Amino acid sequence: MKPIPLNDETRALAESLVWFEPPAEALADPVRFMAYAFARTTHEQMKILRAYVSEDDWKDALDNAPPGIIDPRSWAYWQSRAGRYPAPPLPTRQFR
């Protein structure tokens, strides 16, 4: 997935969605950032974010989402929006 640029719009999104770390750090891992967006974004916020994320990148973020961020309801919704019904299983943590 290509990087999401840091600008006024994305900074505001990062501060809202990943409030516990600086925006530059939150946006440094776009797949992880998108996972938080899938779990917490509003419709208006996602419209802004989609201006920076292509359809392929959006699906790549779903395919590689880290476990433990996206709740089951959001997972099912975004998978459905990607044309995947029924949704594949949620990502799980692997313990070694």
User: What pLDDT does 87 receive?
Assistant: 95
User: What residue segments make up the domains of the chain, in order of their start?
Assistant: 8-81
The band of 75, judged by pLDDT with boundaries at 50, 70 and 90, is very high
User: What pLDDT does 95 receive?
Assistant: 84
Q: Which of 89, 67, 87, 66 is nearest to 78 (CA)?
A: 87
The band of 54, judged by pLDDT with boundaries at 50, 70 and 90, is very high
Does position 27 have pLDDT exceeding 90, yes or no?
yes
| Count of CB atoms situated within 10 Å of the CB of 75 | 21
**In which region does residue 61 sit, left (phi positive, over 0), alpha (psi from -120 to 50) or beta (all else)?**
alpha
